[in-house]
Structure 1
């Protein structure tokens, strides 16, 4: 398994590398592509990127938004 990858998930939107982040080490604010809201420092969340892409495509997601990405209509999560 690649360094920093905790899981590989397959879905209708492709294969993804996924890593859970506890939030304690985060000092940055990120914007979740699922809900377009901020993920403030210290909030547990996950980072995902396409398995056939690069880590430059990593996006930080709220965990519920990641799980609900299939139900949000046409998915644009791949390249957000």
Structure 2
């Protein structure tokens, strides 16, 4: 397995969060240095460049690049209270 490639700049904090869906590494990304749009798996809307958000991946085995997901902070916090969007299934 290749080592994980680093996330781009703008990362301010990293922590581990536990929930009913397991343990996750969560990195907060400041909006000032984000230059790419991402699709949030919680709401299926775009996270526009310049928008602060979080990047998550399974804590076990550090996850792979394919496991990383960019979420709106509110969507990440609400993931246990609502069902997945059609793209998350």
Unaligned runs of 5+ in 2: 1-5, 8-12
Of the structure 1 ranges 52-61 and 64-73, higher mean CA displacement relative to structure 2 is found in 52-61
Under a length normalisation based on structure 2, what TM-score does the superposition of the two structures give?
Answer: 0.74
Under a length normalisation based on structure 1, what TM-score does the superposition of the two structures give?
Answer: 0.82
Unaligned runs of 5+ in 1: none
Equivalent residue number for residue 25 of structure 2: 17
Q: Does 1:30 align with 2:38?
A: yes
Number of corresponding residues: 75
Q: Does 1:40 align with 2:41?
A: no
Q: Does 1:50 align with 2:58?
A: yes
